[in-house]
């Protein structure tokens, strides 16, 4: 969502000019009058009516007694008003200053489409046009004063003025206006004047509303909030999101669309900047707010407490729309809205990068706090992003068909960020930059305009530790699990308990549904650039190294220093580069065209030479240089806490590894066991996935800090044990260890264990079932495709925190026959089987276990928390009866159950039902309930059972039936 002000359907220059003109208006109406004639009667009533109609009016309530020229503030007010309302009374022309106002108003009408509306108050337009009676007498007096002037220059100036005054009087007398000649019907006359001014102003006031691209749903949500008049007290809405995402533009759009619907209104823009010297102060903002809501030139306040008191009083009197844009401190809210609340039906909209600030202000600590709604503003989708980029790059809604590829790459990089799309599009349009130049710069450097906006959030972080946390996540932990990251960085002294929440609340970080840390690409690039700026030319003096070439250079040249806290090197990066280059070379060598014999000889020789050079280069690069360095390179990095060395070849003693390491990741670790001289006392996380490990270590180790052990895809690992030395272990990942045959009984000592992943350990024959059953803190037990188990009868009733059990394809080989693991686990009394499962289960997956209807108990009610149940690829004929007793079930899958004929009365709570490849299915039956039926997934399609479809079902008093014809 963004405002388009620079570019219009016509030329961009005309649009820019129009936008500039509109933006200079401070008032709707300038009221010109002769105070001695009308101040205490007609003009006062007229001013009151204008303000009641929400027409912002400039009214000078002081009489000018000295000086010969119009006051600068009056001249400025006329030029910054859309219209002027001139009350022409008997003594109007006797005031030189009134005539100066009139001359300037008429001039503005000629040059800037200024609206002029005269009111002939007890005077005739013909007297003004012909300058008779009081107007003739007044002009004669001005001429006598001119004749009496002895200074020739001043006399000449007066003569020019009088000439302008006479022309202005003649022009205004010819205009259509209102005549007030009688003493009665004053109220009706004034209402007619106000109605006419409103009618003339309305197109101009509405024309300011900017055009938005995207975020229609946000506009709908906020408009609904404004239209809701049910509230008896003030209602507050907070629009929050990352810097540059469009909060201000959206708020501006909403204000200009709806401010006329309220008695009072005020929009304070960019408070974060405008309350900070030299740009402004909170006192300045208080004065601006009072000026807008009181609709008169109130005296300047000089005390914050007095200002807050006056604001509270003003806001309590009328229904007000108040928008406070760019709040970054609670004190700003306390000073600008106070604690007494607003008039009934008033609305406050706050924009901020910190969504939690609003409810910390004093207004929410009162006995009757306002209703608060939060609206998270997210980025544009790809379609709207392309449209916005095209507006700024090409001046139209979309690029030409042949020009779409490069802009789409820019769109993907910007991830819906309006400011970035605008800046990059404008650079293409205005600076002659090519798309290739723009794409080349992405990820390497950010536009200063974008950085300046993004860095505001970073600079406002409350502590240096929070800033260090942001940089470490941006460089090293995007995409990682939140708890995993938090525990490691806490142990490293980088993260405090509230650190990640602070980043989330300030929209510098988000957490996905799976608990993964996510960061916008622009923020990630800014974080990396902040680290780069620590030492632009000397990488070894930075706190974090992540750029692969720089990491390799520092290690090979032994340039490590105590400045380095984190280092990431993955040699697959270089392998991919070589592979891509090789592919390109081969493609060029074997292009599809006809060659002469001589061409073929040349090509053959070239290919032989290329292959020789490629093999030599590969041998040299990977055999001697790339990925091959001494452990001494790490010796000087004494403050290194986070180290990733994937697919490297090390020589030398592991004693050289820093003793303070908290996180060590070495994918492709080449040794068969962990060396005894590797210091691991402080290590929190160890990841040796895809390694050649056959066992963890030769002698047991006591690692009091280790919480995460990842041995994923260690295909040579045969057994794991000695868990008594890992008292704090929380996650043990053994997935795809295809040679694993034994897990030691000592795993029962890991009482902190939360996740145990044995997925695809296809040779695993035995499980320490008693030990696993004692793991009371276990929340996830993952055993999919452990298809070689001899026994599966874990007693789980004591595992009170287990929420996820995945046991797909765990067929047991027992007594020479093949049968289902789950069937073997179910005693003759199926009720006992259900009771043996923990009541805490939320997700249960039993895919491909040869389960028939007889395998299930009649009652699953003890699994009261279960929301997800997968029964795919089982020989089930109908939905097991026990499923109906699952009172919280939301997802039920029978995908691949080819014998399934009927789903009968599934739980009312069901939201999704999968019947993919259920080729025998004839009938689905639901209880008729008020809630919407589930979405049904069949053969890859999704069917939402709408009310119209439901009416076509055959109803019985107790149920409704959907007959289904399944076509293969």
Collapsing DSSP states into helix, strand and coil, what is residue 555? Answer: helix
- Please tell me the distance from the alpha carbon of residue 570 to that of residue 300, in angstroms, as a whole number: 64
Residue 231 to residue 239: CA distance in whole angstroms: 20
**Pure H helices in 81-121:** 96-112
Q: Three-class SS of residue 89?
A: coil
Q: Report the b/e string of 586-620 with b at 16+ CB within 10 A.
A: eeeeeeeeeeeeeeeeeeeeeeeeeeeeeeeeeee
Task: Give the C-alpha separation, 433 to 439, whole Å.
Answer: 10
In the residue annotation, 269 being an active-site residue is answered as no
Rounded-to-integer distance, Cα 967 and Cα 5, Å: 56
State the Rg of the chain over Cα: 39
Terminus-to-terminus CA distance in the chain, angstroms? 45
**Cα dihedral sign, 764-766-768-770:** positive
* Tokens found for residue 227: 């239209």
**Six-digit token pair at 128?**
């003004």
User: Do the beta carbons of residue 645 and residue 667 sit within 8 Å?
Assistant: no
Q: Which of 52, 101, 153, 577 is catalytic?
A: 101
Q: Burial of 451 by CB count in 10 Å (0-12 exposed, 13-18 middle, 19+ buried)?
A: middle
Instruction: Give the Cα separation of 774 and 749 in Å (integer).
Output: 9
The count of residues in the chain is 968
Q: Across 356-500, where does the E strand assignment appear? A: 371-376
Q: Which of 240, 499, 503, 509 is nearest to 353 (CA)?
A: 240
Identify which of 854, 792, 783 has the alpha carbon closest to the alpha carbon of residue 825. 792
Q: Which residues contact 221 (CB under 8 A, 6 or more apart)?
A: 375
Q: What are phi and psi of 723, to 5 degrees?
A: -75, -15
* Tokens describing residue 193: 């004047």
- 875, 883, 882: which is closest to 900 by C-alpha? 875
Strands (E), 139-190: 178-180
DSSP 8-state class, residue 449: H
The contacts of residue 47 (CB under 8 Å, 6+ apart) are 31, 57, 59
Give the Å distances, CA to CA, from 46 to 49, 53, 388, 672.
Answer: 5, 11, 45, 93
Contact (CB, 8 A) for 6 and 16: yes
Active site residues per annotation: 101
């Amino acid at each position: 969502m963004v405002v388009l002000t620079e570019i219009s359907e016509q030329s961009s220059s005309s649009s820019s000019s129009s936008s500039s003109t509109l933006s200079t208006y401070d008032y709707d109406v300038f009221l010109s009058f002769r105070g001695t004639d009308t101040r205490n009667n007609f003009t006062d009533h007229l001013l009151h009516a204008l303000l009641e109609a929400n027409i912002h009016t400039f009214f000078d309530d002081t009489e000018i007694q000295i000086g010969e020229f119009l006051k600068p503030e009056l001249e400025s007010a006329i030029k910054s008003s859309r219209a002027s309302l001139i009350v022409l009374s008997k003594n109007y022309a006797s005031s030189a200053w009134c005539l100066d106002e009139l001359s300037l108003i008429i001039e503005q009408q000629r040059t800037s489409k200024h609206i002029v509306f005269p009111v002939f108050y007890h005077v005739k337009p013909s007297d003004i046009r012909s300058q008779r009676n009081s107007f003739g007498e007044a002009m004669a007096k001005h001429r006598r004063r001119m004749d009496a002037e002895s200074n020739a220059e001043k006399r000449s100036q007066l003569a020019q003025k009088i000439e302008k005054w006479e022309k202005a009087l003649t022009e205004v007398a010819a205009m259509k206006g209102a005549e007030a000649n009688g003493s009665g019907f004053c109220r009706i006359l004034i209402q007619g004047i106000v109605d006419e001014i409103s009618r003339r102003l309305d197109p101009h006031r509405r024309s300011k509303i900017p055009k938005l691209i995207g975020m229609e749903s946000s506009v709908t949500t906020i408009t609904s909030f404004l239209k809701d008049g049910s509230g008896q007290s003030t209602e507050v809405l907070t629009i929050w999101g990352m810097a540059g995402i469009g909060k201000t533009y959206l708020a501006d759009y909403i204000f200009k669309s709806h401010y006329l619907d309220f008695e009072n209104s005020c929009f304070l823009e960019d408070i974060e900047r405008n309350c900070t010297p030299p740009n402004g102060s909170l006192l300045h903002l208080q004065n601006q707010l009072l000026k807008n809501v009181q609709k008169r030139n109130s005296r300047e306040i000089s005390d914050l407490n007095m200002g807050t008191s006056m604001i509270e009083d003003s806001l309590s009197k009328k229904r007000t729309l108040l928008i406070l844009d760019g709040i970054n401190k609670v004190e700003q809210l306390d000073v600008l809205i106070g604690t007494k609340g607003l008039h009934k039906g008033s609305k406050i909209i706050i924009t901020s990068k910190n969504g939690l600030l609003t409810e910390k202000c004093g207004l929410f600590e009162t006995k009757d706090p306002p209703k608060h709604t939060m609206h998270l503003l997210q980025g544009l989708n790809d379609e709207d992003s392309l449209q916005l980029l095209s507006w700024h790059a090409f001046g139209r809604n979309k690029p030409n068909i042949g020009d779409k590829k490069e802009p789409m790459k820019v769109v993907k990089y910007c991830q819906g960020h309006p400011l970035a799309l605008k800046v990059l599009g404008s650079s293409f349009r205005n600076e002659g930059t090519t798309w290739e130049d723009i794409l080349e710069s992405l990820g390497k450097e950010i536009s200063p305009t974008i950085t300046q906006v993004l860095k505001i959030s970073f600079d406002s972080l409350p502590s240096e530790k929070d800033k260090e946390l942001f940089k470490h996540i941006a460089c090293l932990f995007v995409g990682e699990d939140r708890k995993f990251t938090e525990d490691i960085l806490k142990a490293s002294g980088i993260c405090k308990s509230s650190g990640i929440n602070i980043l989330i609340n300030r929209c510098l970080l988000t957490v996905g549904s799976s608990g993964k840390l996510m960061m916008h690409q622009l923020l990630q690039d800014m974080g990396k650039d902040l680290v780069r700026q620590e030492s632009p030319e000397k990488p070894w003096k930075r706190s974090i190294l992540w750029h692969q070439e720089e990491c390799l250079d520092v290690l090979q040249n032994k340039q490590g220093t105590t400045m380095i806290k984190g280092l990431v090197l993955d040699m697959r990066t270089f392998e991919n580069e070589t592979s891509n280059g090789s592919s390109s070379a081969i493609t060029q060598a074997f292009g599809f065209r006809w060659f002469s014999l001589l061409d073929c000889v040349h090509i053959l020789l070239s290919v032989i030479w290329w292959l020789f050079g490629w093999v030599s280069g590969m041998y040299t690069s990977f055999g001697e240089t790339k990925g091959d360095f001494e452990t001494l390179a790490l010796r000087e990095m004494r403050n290194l806490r986070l180290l990733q060395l994937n697919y490297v070849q090390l020589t030398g003693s592991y004693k050289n590894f820093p003793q303070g390491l908290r996180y060590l990741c070495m994918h492709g670790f080449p040794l068969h066991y962990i060396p005894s001289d590797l210091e691991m006392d402080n290590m929190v996380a160890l990841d040796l996935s895809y390694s050649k490990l056959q066992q963890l270590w030769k002698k047991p180790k006591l690692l009091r800090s280790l919480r995460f052990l990842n041995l994923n895809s260690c295909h040579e690992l045969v057994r794991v044990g000695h868990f008594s030395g890992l008292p704090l272990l929380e996650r043990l990942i053994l997935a795809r260890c295809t040679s694993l045959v034994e897990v030691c009984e000592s795993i029962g000592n890991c009482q902190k264990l939360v996740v145990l992943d044995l997925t695809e350990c296809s040779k695993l024959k035995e499980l320490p079932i008693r030990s696993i059953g004692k793991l009371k803190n276990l929340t996830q037990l993952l055993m999919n495709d452990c298809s070689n188990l001899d026994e599966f009868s874990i007693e789980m009733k004591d595992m009170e925190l287990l929420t996820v059990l995945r046991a797909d394809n765990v067929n047991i080989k027992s007594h020479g026959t093949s049968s289902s693991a789950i069937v073997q686990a179910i005693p003759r009394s199926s009720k006992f089987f259900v009771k043996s499962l923990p009541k805490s289960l939320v997700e249960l997956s039993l895919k491909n276990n040869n389960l028939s209807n007889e395998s299930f108990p009649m009652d699953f009610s003890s699994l009261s928390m279960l929301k997800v149940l997968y029964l795919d690829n089982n020989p089930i004929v109908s939905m097991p009866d026990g499923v109906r007793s699952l009172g919280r079930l939301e997802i039920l899958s029978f995908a691949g159950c080819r014998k399934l004929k009927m789903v009968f009365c599934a739980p009312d709570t069901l939201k999704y039902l999968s019947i993919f490849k259920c080729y025998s299915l004839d009938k689905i039956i639901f209880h008729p309930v008020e809630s919407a039926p589930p979405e049904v997934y069949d053969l890859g399609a999704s069917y939402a059972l709408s009310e119209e479809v439901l009416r076509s079902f055959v109803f019985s008093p107790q149920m409704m039936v959907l007959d289904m014809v399944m076509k293969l």
